Structure 1
Amino acid sequence: MSEHHPPEPPAQFRYAVGAGLGLLIGVAVGLFIDENVVLASAILGVAIGIVVAYFAKFIKP
């Protein structure tokens, strides 16, 4: 009997989730550090989230 694997979500969905989580984490870190760096940390968080989402497709089992 073969196992059923759910289909992989589209790449756009993976990048959107990575960017969204990066945005949330970046804003949280920016607010923790200082209110003057919120925008910069949010943009950096989005960029890191997209990069992590790109490399996440290589580590799936």
Structure 2
Amino acid sequence: MKEKDIPVANIQSVWQHRNDTYGPKGGKAFIGGESDSWHPNDRGHKEITEIIFNKAYEILK
């Protein structure tokens, strides 16, 4: 947030114009149970993790 000078990791690229980072509905989820059509799948989690790590690294280096 620029107004408050708070660093933010933008994860929009994980969701926008894509359908390979969530679901598929009814598929087996990594932690058990079933995935849905809204929460990130393994690929989505990996990409979110990379974005957050890179942002934290940029701030803390």
Shorter-normalised TM-score: what interval? 0.3 to 0.5
* Larger-gyration structure (1/2): 1
Give the TM-score of the pair, scaled to structure 2: 0.36
Say which structure, 1 or 2, has more relative contact order (CA 8 Å, 6+ apart).
1
Give the TM-score of the pair, scaled to structure 1: 0.36
